[in-house]
Structure 1
Amino acid sequence: MATSPNTESSFNRRNFVKLVGGTSALAALSSTNLNAALFAGPSPSSAAETAVTEFYKSLSDAQKSKICFGFNNKLRDRISANWMITDIEIGSDFYTKSQRKMIDQVVRGLTSEDGYSRLQKQMEDDNGGLEQYSVAVFGTPGEKEFEFELTGRHLTLRADGNSVEKAAFGGPIVYGHGEEEDVKKNLYYDQTKQTNEVFKSLDADQAARALVAKKPSETAVQIQGDNAAFPGIAVSDLKDDQQQLVLQSLKVLLAPYREEDRAEVMQIVAESGGVEKLHMAFYQEGDLESDKVWDIWRVEGPAFVWHFRGAPHVHAYINIGHRKHA
């Protein structure tokens, strides 16, 4: 199993600061306590993964036959904004009350306090709560490489203890919210507001490069590598104050997730050339209320894709570092 280094031997703090744009980058993410977790990342002993192992050990052979798979099963690579990875709902009699509590503990371990609260409301609004979602376990938690996956309407979450090397979140994840009556009431409208602060800061020439007419497929989040041509404007072409707005946007995007995953994301960004290698694109298609607050946008770089579709409601697909998905 691949594990994150806990020393600075292969990737030291000085290089990290340099690649993400100097001390200002760390300052922009200071609330994540990035220094403490930078080289740790998630591990088999992280809170979510500990709960996964406890959950796995509690399963009977009959339960394992329905929701457990080999680590390399192709089901683990699928991504969608609305699917059940198994046909057994968490709230069904298939699981004990104790097991349902363990699943909730996994979700708590994967999220920040705000992220957990936001996720609870999203699941309740969109599908009646966590009980209506499904889970699967790949591999052998506590012994070998493994991954826990939670799926359902507008959600895919993973916990893998860093079994998937250099893949933040254990692979592609999905979030969303079905609110359509008032875009400002969507649980993730704050992300659109923040990214649009970047757009508002652009001069006419920069805005012309950042604005794209037609949106790409929301599931087109394959990692492209160093030689790809990315849509929108390069962060390297922005002024220092504009780059600070990009960093603030990354902070807002990452805020719902646990500290270990936030740190791993930024380490992957750093190792793939830094924040300056990212591009930001805003799409004219899907401009709700025709207010030029762009509801569909994308942040992309050599090892980073964050695609946000806010029209008619939110579907967001994230893939950072993971080079394979179905």
Structure 2
Amino acid sequence: MNPWNSCCDDADSPAVDRRVFLEQASKVALVGGAALSAPLVLPAMAARAAEQIASGANGKSSESLVKLLYEALTPGQREKVCFAWDHQDKERGLLRSRVANNWDITDYYVNDDFYTDDQRAIIRAVFESLYRREWHAKIDQQLDDDSGGFGEQNSIAIFGEPGGEHFEFVLTGRHMTVRCDGNTTEHVAFGGPIFYGHAADGFDEGPTHPGNVFWPQAVEANNLYQALDGKQQQLALVKQGLPREQRVGFQGAKGKYQGIPLTEFSSDQKERVQEVLRKLVEPYRQNDRDEVIACLNQQGGLDACHLAFYQQGDIGKDGVWDNWRLEGPSFVWHFRGSPHVHVWVNVANDASVKLNA
């Protein structure tokens, strides 16, 4: 069963408004010398990308924008932010697949003078295209609270050549790692591990997490916990042994999982798990939601997963579990809500995929 037939259909597409994008991208033709020798992004090129966004042709709207961005960069800029597909960083390993809660993938923030206004407009369009339109304001709220707004502390990198056999766009920052790969990265959803988080009301948010745009995901999970019977709650609740939040590498089919196996759930309870899953993937574009389900099904579906709630880190000792984890052979969604929200996501169809965190 597709778990988002009811709430996440294609009605939210396109993610980027065609008129707004055309207004932004076509400004290149008017800027003239202010473009600082950037290649001319002709209005016709911008129009083609916008048309692909509007039509959702082949699910490639985000990827078309990445190609447009790549073509808009000068050779000097490409030297700084574009890399070979398997580029190895001396300190950070395979840079394309790295994930962290607060990091810069390159040395240039989107709002730095390194980029022109036109390039920033395309970067913003790529960013928006990765999320459902209804989530744009929420993600902007997270960025405003955590880093002063989009682009202030966000850096990008492009690996491979967009339109080629393999390529990937990565945007990072505080409480953010997001990717766009045109399904060219084998085995994985989202193009690789991602991260999201929010410190809405200061570093220590308190038990109600006021204003946190991601806390409703935990509310949905806790509603599921309350729907379990006493024995199931005992199995699901881990009193000691909260894992490090970064520990989201795959354990495989023979892994030792915490919490309750979902095979212990009734059909009604499994429907509630589907609701949690829908809430988790709700912010993202249809293509990425579909990839998550395809990867999950290939490893045995939700029946191959465990769900754990952690007593450690229960803010206010109120029995509303701030930390919880849904995990299977090659599926990890780790929600850390104490002292504020950090969420680590690693999903693939093959447990042999290695994590770089």
Same fold (TM over 0.5): yes
SS at match of 2:319: coil
1:242 aligns with 269
- Work out which of the residue numbers 157, 168, 171 in structure 1 matches 2:192: 171
Letter of the aligned partner of 2:276 in structure 1?
S
Task: Map 1:96-111; keep pairs closer than 5 Å.
Answer: 96-111=116-131
What SS is found at the alignment partner of 2:213? coil
Contact 2:205 2:340 (C-alpha < 8 Å) held by counterparts: no
| Structure 2 match to 1:70 | 84
For the residue of structure 2 that corresponds to 1:130, the secondary structure is coil
> 1:21 is matched with which residue?
none
| C-alpha spacing 1:241/1:28, structure 2 compared with 1 (3 Å) | farther
Secondary structure of residue in 1 paired with 2:326: strand
Q: Deviations over 1:104-149 (max 9, x none)?
A: 1111111111222211111111001112210001111122311100
Corresponding residue for 1:160?
Answer: 181
Structure 1's 30 and 237: CA in aligned 2 closer, same or farther, altered over 3 A? same
Contact 1:150–1:158 (CA under 8 A) maintained in structure 2: yes
- Confirm or deny: 8 A CA contact 2:259 2:306 kept in the other structure: yes
Equivalent residue runs for 1:216-295 within 5 Å? 216-295=243-322
**Which digits, 9 at most, give the CA deviation of each residue in 1:9-28, with x for residues without a partner?**
xxxxxxxxxxxxxxxx4365
SS at match of 1:315: strand
* Structure 1 contact 44–160 (Cα < 8 Å) conserved: no
Deviations 1:183-227 (A, max 9, x none): 132111100100011111111111111111231011111122211
Match of 1:14 in 2: none
Q: Is the contact made by 2:156 and 2:172 (CA closer than 8 Å) also made in structure 1?
A: yes
- How many residue pairs match? The answer is 296
The amino acid of 1:54's aligned partner reads L
Q: Deviations over 1:213-259 (max 9, x none)?
A: 23101111112221112111111111111111100000000000001
Q: Percent of aligned positions with the same letter in both sequences?
A: 41
Distance 1:220 1:142 in 2: 33
Tell me, yes or no, if the aligned pair for 1:81 and 1:175 is still in contact at 8 Å. yes
Candidates 305, 308, 316, aligned match of 2:335: 308
Give how far 1:58 is off. Answer: 0.7
Between the aligned partners of 2:171 and 2:133, the Cα distance in structure 1 is 18
**Which among 33, 36, 57 is matched to residue 9 of structure 2?**
33
Aligned-partner SS, 2:68 = helix
Unaligned stretches of 5+ residues in structure 1:
1-24
Greater relative contact order (Cα 8 A, min sep 6): structure 1 or 2? 1
Larger radius of gyration: 2
Aligned with residue 136 of structure 1, among 135, 157, 170: 157
Correspondence for 1:209 among 201, 211, 235: 235
Q: 1:82 and 2:102 equivalent?
A: yes
**Separation (CA, whole Å) in 2 of partners of 1:98 and 1:68:** 18
Distance 2:4 2:148 in 1: 36
